[in-house]
Amino acid sequence: MQIEDDFFGNPQNFYNAGGAVNYPSEMQCFLEQMPRDNRIELVIISVDQWIFNINYTGKLLEPDAESFIDFSLNETLDFKNAMKQIIDDYTEQKLSIFQLLNHNNRIGVNAKVNGNGFLKDGSYYYDKRFLQKNNPDESYFADTFQRIEDGNARFEYGEKINLDIVNQMEALLAYCKKNEIRVIGFEPPFAASVVKKLAEKGEEYKYMNEIPVKMLDVFQKYQFEFYDYSDVSDLGCGENSFFIDGFHGSDAVYIKMFQDMIEQGSCLKEYCDLDELINLYENRDSDVAVHGIIESL
pLDDT attached to residue 294 = 82
pLDDT attached to residue 93 = 87
Mean pLDDT of the chain: 92
Does the pLDDT of residue 279 top 70, yes or no? yes
Does the pLDDT of residue 280 top 90, yes or no? yes
* Cα separations in angstroms, 272 against 1, 13, 180, 192: 18, 12, 20, 27
Q: What pLDDT digit, counting tens, does each position of 26-50 carry? A: 999 999 988 878 889 999 999 999 9
The mean pLDDT value for 251-269 works out to 98
Does the pLDDT of residue 62 top 90, yes or no? no
Q: What pLDDT digit, counting tens, does each position of 89-111 carry? A: 889 988 888 888 888 889 988 99
Does the pLDDT of residue 68 top 70, yes or no? no
Burial environment of residue 264 by CB neighbours within 10 A (0 to 12, 13 to 18, 19 or more)? exposed
Q: What pLDDT digit, counting tens, does each position of 184-241 carry? A: 999 999 999 999 999 999 999 999 999 999 999 999 999 999 999 999 999 999 999 9
If one counts every other C-beta atom within 10 angstroms of the C-beta of residue 240, the result is: 19
Strands 243-245 and 248-249: antiparallel
Residues 6+ apart with CB under 8 A from 135: 241
149 three-state secondary structure: helix
Segments in the chain forming alpha helices (H):
24-32, 54-57, 65-69, 79-91, 97-101, 109-114, 127-132, 139-150, 163-178, 192-201, 206-221, 251-263, 274-282
Does the pLDDT of residue 295 top 80, yes or no? no
Q: In whole angstroms, what is the distance from residue 263 CA to residue 46 CA?
A: 19
Q: Judge whether 280 and 255 are in contact, CB under 8 Å.
A: yes
pLDDT attached to residue 120 = 94
Does the pLDDT of residue 135 top 90, yes or no? yes
pLDDT attached to residue 220 = 98
pLDDT attached to residue 297 = 64
Q: Judge whether 119 and 125 are in contact, CB under 8 Å.
A: yes
Q: In whole angstroms, what is the distance from residue 116 CA to residue 111 CA?
A: 5
pLDDT attached to residue 79 = 74
100-109, 136-145, 166-175, 188-197: least confident range: 100-109
Does the pLDDT of residue 273 top 90, yes or no? yes
Does the pLDDT of residue 180 top 80, yes or no? yes
Domain positions in the chain are: 5-68+116-282
